């Protein structure tokens, strides 16, 4: 073990705090003893104590501080606290400047600890995280230690090994999907937003989708940020919401909450269930996406600003409407939508008012993708607004008679475009995550979070629903994500399936994109 050799305890005239150094030596001796007997909890405690002693006394980039933090990460890793260790590793690699032999030795030690962390990530099925760590470590090692250094060679070999492991793991998931080619129907476990007396268990059958769709969702949804913006609170006491809150920190899906000053985002009872429902439907469609809740009233502009700048979400789902007469709010919000349109995907519920008023605001804004409701067979909800002549797509997705959390521990079935909106947001999250997989190459990734880009991808999914009634034709484009994200019998292997889907997305981003 490398010890703290750089502190001078003899030069008392230099103003060095000898008493503090001697105390550090005593603590370090205890830490080394604990390391030798593999008492990692004590090792963590001792090096944490040393960090407190040097805080404000030595600079963060001092070799002694770097060394203490390196040993601390070893203790964290051996206790399974790998995410804490990873965070410290990243900071260390940013601070270490390998100009001296001591700093090069510390860098070498950190890189070897990162390899150890990778070995712990694989059993947790976190191959993508492992690849990212090794890729960064390889770049640092080449620059700091050299291309031919043995540590660089070791990192390169581990990167190749983990990449092959990830390929095999993806192949297994694809094989499981192929095995379910019979596509048994099952009830989609998603929730709705606004109820309607038109639909009831007696008049409307359960909404069903192929189980292969749910399986595809399960295998593609990881790590995206979705902001649910609504007018009501979140029922934090409902069992379904509790499950999302009580997971481990790494798996916890409810990540952030925002409300205007003097208001609260939470309540034991969400009065109409709207906020709770919208959050849960997004989670059910994209179960591993991070969910952020923004309770919006007159402060919608700042809610959007917070979601984009502070949370840095990928998608904002807006299941609300602003009154036609509220011109001041609409003007402020329109300016904000124009400002953020290239930073985040914006979805909004089209309207629940039928054919009388057309699309609601903000769904009618050009920066926003408006979403209509449909039943599981693709047919439109009767209370949708008429298709807009200004919109070439008029997307619809599942939003009728679906189960949602209700008061207490109960659930109920409701319908509306408010549920279809977070369903579409969840589908977009699946697309974004697929495009971030290590085996997928998107030629123009900047277009993924542009409205026109996602519309182009959605166009690969829809089934044009044509209905003629009383001499009028109504066209909605019903999203079928399994039409795009599915394993086909013609796919020879994993690489072929992923390449085919990626090719369709790249094709959507053709030269005539703009």
- Across the 514 residues of the chain, what is the mean pLDDT of every consecutive 10-residue run? 50 62 93 94 95 92 94 94 92 91 94 93 84 89 92 92 82 64 41 39 42 42 54 64 58 58 47 71 83 70 80 88 86 91 92 84 94 88 87 85 72 85 92 81 86 91 50 69 78 74 85 46
Kindly name the residue from 231, 272, 391, 491 that is annotated as catalytic: 231
> What is the model's pLDDT at position 134?
92
Q: What is the DSSP string of 218-240?
A: HHH--S-EEEEEESS-EETTSHH
Beta-strand (E) ranges in 201-281? Answer: 208-210, 225-230, 234-235, 254-258, 266-267
What are the chain's domains? Answer: 15-173 (1.25.40.10), 185-508 (3.40.50.200)
Question: Residue 6 class from Cβ within 10 Å (0-12 exposed, 13-18 middle, 19+ buried)?
Answer: exposed
Tokens standing for 136?
């960064």
Active site residue 231: yes
Task: Report how far Cα 315 is from the mean position of its chain's Cα atoms.
Answer: 10
The 10 Å Cβ neighbour count of residue 505 is 24
Active site residue 196: no
> What is the model's pLDDT at position 145?
94
The Cα 105–Cα 107 span in angstroms is: 5
The 10 Å Cβ neighbour count of residue 232 is 22
The Cα 299–Cα 303 span in angstroms is: 6
Q: Are 425 and 317 in contact (CB under 8 A)?
A: yes
> What is the model's pLDDT at position 245?
61
Q: Taking the complete model, does pTM exceed 0.85, yes or no?
A: no
> What is the model's pLDDT at position 345?
94
The Cα 109–Cα 104 span in angstroms is: 9
Q: Which residues contact 84 (CB under 8 A, 6 or more apart)?
A: 73, 76
Task: Report how far Cα 409 is from the mean position of its chain's Cα atoms.
Answer: 27
Q: Are 316 and 307 in contact (CB under 8 A)?
A: yes
Q: Are 329 and 260 in contact (CB under 8 A)?
A: no
Adjacent-strand bridge partners of 228: 293, 317
> What is the model's pLDDT at position 256?
60
> What is the model's pLDDT at position 46?
96
Comparing CA positions, the residue from 40, 27, 115, 38 lying closest to residue 75 is: 40
> What is the model's pLDDT at position 29?
94
Kindly name the residue from 238, 393, 418, 450 that is annotated as catalytic: 418
The Cα 57–Cα 46 span in angstroms is: 18
Tokens standing for 447?
């277009």
DSSP conformation class of 464: E
Number of DSSP helices (H) and strands (E) in the chain, helices first: 16, 15
The Cα 322–Cα 299 span in angstroms is: 12
Kindly name the residue from 89, 159, 274, 372 that is annotated as catalytic: 274
The Cα 209–Cα 373 span in angstroms is: 15
Active site residue 418: yes
Tokens standing for 187?
């009830």
């Amino acid at each position: 073990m490398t010890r703290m050799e750089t502190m001078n305890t003899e030069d008392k005239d230099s103003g060095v705090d000898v008493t503090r150094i001697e105390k550090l030596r005593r603590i370090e001796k205890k830490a080394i003893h604990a390391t030798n007997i593999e008492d990692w909890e004590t090792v963590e405690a001792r090096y944490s104590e040393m960090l407190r002693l040097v805080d404000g006394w030595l600079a963060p980039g001092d070799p002694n501080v770097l060394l203490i933090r390196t040993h601390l990460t070893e203790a964290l890793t051996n206790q399974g606290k790998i995410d804490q260790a990873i965070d410290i590793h990243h900071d260390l690699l940013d601070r270490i400047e390998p100009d001296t032999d001591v700093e090069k030795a510390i860098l070498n030690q950190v890189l070897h600890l990162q390899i150890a962390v990778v070995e712990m990530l694989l059993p947790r099925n976190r191959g993508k995280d492992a690849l990212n760590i090794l890729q960064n470590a390889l770049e640092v090692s080449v620059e700091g230690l050299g291309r031919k250094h043995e540590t660089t060679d070791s990192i390169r070999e581990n990167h190749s090994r983990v990449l092959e492991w990830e390929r095999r793991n993806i192949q297994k998931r694809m094989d499981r999907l192929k095995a379910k080619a019979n596509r048994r129907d099952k009830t989609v476990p998603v929730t709705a937003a606004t109820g309607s007396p038109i639909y009831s268990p007696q008049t409307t059958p359960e909404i069903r989708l192929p189980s292969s769709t749910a399986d595809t969702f399960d295998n593609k949804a990881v790590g995206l940020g979705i902001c649910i913006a609504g007018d009501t609170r979140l029922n934090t006491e409902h069992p379904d919401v509790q499950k999302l809150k009580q997971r481990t920190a790494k798996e916890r899906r409810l990540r952030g909450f925002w409300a205007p000053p003097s208001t609260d985002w939470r309540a034991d009872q969400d009065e109409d269930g709207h906020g709770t429902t919208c959050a849960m439907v997004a989670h059910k469609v994209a179960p591993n996406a991070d969910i952020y809740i923004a309770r919006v009233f007159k402060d919608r502009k700042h809610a959007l600003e917070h979601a984009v700048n502070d949370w840095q979400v990928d998608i904002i789902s807006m299941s609300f409407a602003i009154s036609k007469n509220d011109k001041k709010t609409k003007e402020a919000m329109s300016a904000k939508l124009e400002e953020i349109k290239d930073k985040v995907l914006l979805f909004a519920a089209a309207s629940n008012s039928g054919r009388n008023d057309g699309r609601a605001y903000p769904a009618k804004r050009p920066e926003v993708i408006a979403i209509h409701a449909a039943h599981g067979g693709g047919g439109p909800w009767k209370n949708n607004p008429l298709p807009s002549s200004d919109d070439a797509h008029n997307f619809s997705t599942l939003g009728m008679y679906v189960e949602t959390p209700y008061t207490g521990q109960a659930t109920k079935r409701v319908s509306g475009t408010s549920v279809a909106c977070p369903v579409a947001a969840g589908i977009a999250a699946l697309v974004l995550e697929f495009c971030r997989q290590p085996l997928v190459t998107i030629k123009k990734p900047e277009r993924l979070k542009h409205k026109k880009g996602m519309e182009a991808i959605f166009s690969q999914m829809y089934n044009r629903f044509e209905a003629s009634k009383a001499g009028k034709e109504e066209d909605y484009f019903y999203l079928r994500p399994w039409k795009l994200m599915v394993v086909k019998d013609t796919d020879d292997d994993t690489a072929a399936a992923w390449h085919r889907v990626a090719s369709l997305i790249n094709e959507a981003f053709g030269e005539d994109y703009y």
